[in-house]
Structure 1
Amino acid sequence: MRKSVVKILDKIIQNYINANLNTDLHALLLKKSPFPEVSMHEIVQQIKGKQVALKKFPFLLKDGILFPPQLNLEQSSSEKTAAYKSGLLKGEKFIDLTAGFGIDAYYLSENFNQVTLIEQNPDLLEIVRSNWHVLGKKATFINQKLESFLEKNKEVFDVIYLDPARRDSNKNKVFLLEDLSPDILAIQEKLLSSATQVVIKLSPLIDLKYLASVLPAIFRIDIIAVKNDVKEIVVFLSNEKIKNISCNCINLESDDPVFKFIFGDEENAFAEYGEPEKYIYIPNNAILKAGTFNLISQKMGLKKLHSNSHIYTSHSWIYNFPGRIFEMEIIDAKKIQKKSQYNIITKNYPLKPEEIKKKYSIKDGGEKYLIFTQSKKGKIILKSV
């Protein structure tokens, strides 16, 4: 590890870092470092790391923890999603082939006796090694490209975990597995011969039907959201012949129940349509990502307002719905009072919320809601009761 990285753990430098956690980082970068052996860039890197950790992985806010460059922080899973995944896996031997900053590996390896981390960036691996020592966590750390490791590997692991990154040359949003590094399609056979189970974290932008078509060993898909923001798609592969792919829509830090279904059931699901009744239901974003628009109607016994609205209704309360529930009534646009305060929701409606607020002179916020949408009969406005 570089001398300056070790030096940055000195108490006097750590005190300086902690004293500047709320300082403007751009202004700080223009100043000269008060410590000859540590640059201001390295100091700011640690400040930024602590700021990110406060929201993303607060378990690392301890003395002696080092933080990597911002890109590695951005690419890391959050503590919340990593902790959720840790409850799904157990065994004797776990290996993370794309360790990165090690957040996923730290949590996912909790129920394993032997832990191996592969990381091709030597500086990043040394940071993780140092942090795990501080945290009292043991592992075998290997600085190597995962392709080289797999080529020579003779071991069989209980779980192999990967979090592929976007290729540097690809500036567009990633939708295909071959656009990632490593190319999962090129190494999937080797992965499956080296583990009982392979778990892959992917971008929420990936298409689920595409995944099912190119990964024949897939047996489970988890769509993970945090506070209704879809963060990742996690796929599970195995050599066992499993007929159906089970899917789970998870919305962490909410009261939403997990919505479970079998991949492909949406194609045969039937939605009953109807005009708005007493209760209005809007599915969480994990379900919207899954595209189970008819299936949720059928399984929950709800009527759908319109094929493109993805809003549902019922006369009686459905308590275990995975999303938001409103008690509402249809109103005439003329009854919307100017300068009144509402939260605006639009689904399958020609105007955006900002345009609606301007048109009707509505203030944003408050406790009441207006939903602008369409039913089979046409455009409607719903007001919370």
Structure 2
Amino acid sequence: MGINILDHKVEQYIDANLNTDLHALLLKKSPFPEVSMQEIVQQIKGKQVARKKFPFLLKDGIVFPPQLSLEQASSEKTALYKSEILKGNTFIDLTCGFGIDAYYLSRNFRKITLVEQNSELLNIVEHNWSVLEKKATFINRKLEDFLKENNASFDVVYLDPARRDTQKNKVFLLEDLSPNIMEIHNKLVSLSEEVVIKLSPLIDLKYLVSVLPGIFRMEIIAVKNDVKELVVFLTKKRQGEVDCHCVNLESGEPAFTYQFGEEENRTADYGEPEKFIYIPNNAVLKSGVFNLIALRFGLKKLHPNTHLYTSDQRAEHFPGRILEMESIEAKQVQKKSRFNVISKNYPLKPEEIRKKYNLKDGGENYLIFTQSKKGKIILKSI
């Protein structure tokens, strides 16, 4: 990315076209001899992503990388949450990327080191950090080469491995990531008492704990009920219990904390729907502690495969939605009405239910199609 992209007139042109059709824009000739239309569109895309994902970068002088780096970067919300957990003197990010995580995670550290193998991307990060008046040591090296050559130690080591193979297919096993976490594990824990690794939220937790030594904390992070990240904390010395935290940012819901393995040998009571229906948020559902949730809050589960809960008295501080509902017959469903339709352990998907009953989507009322141990049921919000 050339320095000409930072010209004031170019930036004005970019800002004036933030809502322009980018395909049409690419067909036009750039009004600036030293800046291609492809470069201009790249910056427009960057600002469009930044509006939602990292608005702190919406300021003059910031340069945005190609689309893939924007997609792979953490959001400002998840990075800020992780930054509240970490502190120390020295911090290193071994897979800097666009540097969003590093910018926030390093807030409570005095010395910051960023490693990135893509020289163009690292130059962009170095430039942006200069604009943001934030200092770091920038190292353009492959992670594996850096680990071989480095003998220094750090208070916190952070990395976010690439989760796509050479054919750009998604991968989940630790040995298939780039870098291969299993190969570099021993070196990582020799560098620091606290190694933090961001992983795909789709990875299986039992698999993770069984193959990766030294895990002492896991964070399942959702934003508005969309699970974005699974973050593991590991160390060479500490073994034993793994503290697990499920958070749903921007929901107002409390975090749910448990010890990994606490679900084992737990049994929930089952019952038919009562006055209140509880829907755990997706961070909790990802944890798989379905019986533990029932026991913690004194709830009954509707069915072994229906992760909905019920009680006659409202349970406070539940990590999810609480709806006051009643059971109805299928013939009582008001056709052509507006409902939020939820289908859990039910043969039809929400869109199929809406079509069958001629329902409109949205509004303040809910219909839940599910089943208890006695069979299929329909619940309507009161």
Matched residue of 2:6: which SS?
A: coil
Structure 2 equivalent of residue 37 of structure 1: 34
Structure 2 equivalent of residue 241 of structure 1: 238
In structure 2, C-alpha distance between the alignment counterparts of 1:302 and 1:172, rounded to whole Å? 41
Structure 2 equivalent of residue 263 of structure 1: 260
Contact (CA 8 Å) 2:263, 2:291: kept in 1 or not?
yes
Structure 1, unmatched stretches of 5+, are none
In structure 2, C-alpha distance between the alignment counterparts of 1:12 and 1:255, rounded to whole Å? 43
Matched, 1:380 2:377: yes
Of residues 43, 46, 50, the one that matches 2:47 is 50
Written as runs of structure 1 = structure 2, the 5 A alignment for 1:168-317 is 168-317=165-314
Matched, 1:117 2:103: no
In structure 2, C-alpha distance between the alignment counterparts of 1:271 and 1:133, rounded to whole Å? 55
TM-score, normalised on structure 1?
A: 0.98
Using the TM superposition, name which of 80-89 and 268-277 deviates more: 268-277
Structure 2 equivalent of residue 143 of structure 1: 140
Structure 1 position 170, deviation (Å)? 4.3
Counterpart residue type for residue 24 of structure 1: D
Counterpart residue type for residue 76 of structure 2: E
In structure 2, C-alpha distance between the alignment counterparts of 1:120 and 1:171, rounded to whole Å? 18
Of residues 156, 162, 165, the one that matches 1:165 is 162
In structure 2, C-alpha distance between the alignment counterparts of 1:168 and 1:67, rounded to whole Å? 24
Structure 2, unmatched stretches of 5+, are none
Structure 1 position 243, deviation (Å)? 1.3
Structure 1 equivalent of residue 128 of structure 2: 131
Q: How many residues align?
A: 382
Deviations 1:108-155 (A, max 9, x none): 000001000000000000000000000000000000001111111111
Structure 2 equivalent of residue 354 of structure 1: 351
Structure 2 equivalent of residue 10 of structure 1: 7
Identical positions, percent = 71
Contact (CA 8 Å) 2:92, 2:154: kept in 1 or not?
yes
Matched residue of 2:69: which SS?
A: helix
Structure 1 position 173, deviation (Å)? 2.8
Structure 2 equivalent of residue 83 of structure 1: 80
Structure 2 equivalent of residue 345 of structure 1: 342
Matched residue of 2:151: which SS?
A: coil
Deviations 1:254-294 (A, max 9, x none): 11111000001111222111110000000000011111111
Structure 1 position 59, deviation (Å)? 0.2
Counterpart residue type for residue 242 of structure 2: I
Structure 2 equivalent of residue 71 of structure 1: 68
Structure 1 position 360, deviation (Å)? 1.3
Structure 1 position 167, deviation (Å)? 4.0
Structure 1 position 168, deviation (Å)? 3.9
Q: Which runs of 4+ in 1 moved over 4 A?
A: none
In structure 1, C-alpha distance between the alignment counterparts of 2:45 and 2:109, rounded to whole Å? 32
Contact (CA 8 Å) 1:174, 1:206: kept in 2 or not?
no
Residues 49 and 224 of structure 1: is their aligned pair in 2 closer, same or farther, counting only changes over 3 Å? same
Matched, 1:326 2:323: yes
In structure 1, C-alpha distance between the alignment counterparts of 2:25 and 2:238, rounded to whole Å? 57
Structure 1 position 364, deviation (Å)? 1.5
Matched residue of 1:365: which SS?
A: strand
Matched residue of 2:306: which SS?
A: coil
Deviations 1:78-114 (A, max 9, x none): 0000000001011110000000000000000000010
Matched residue of 1:109: which SS?
A: helix
TM-score, normalised on structure 2?
A: 0.99
Structure 1 position 174, deviation (Å)? 1.7
Matched residue of 1:337: which SS?
A: coil
Deviations 1:7-45 (A, max 9, x none): 110101000000000000011111111111111000000
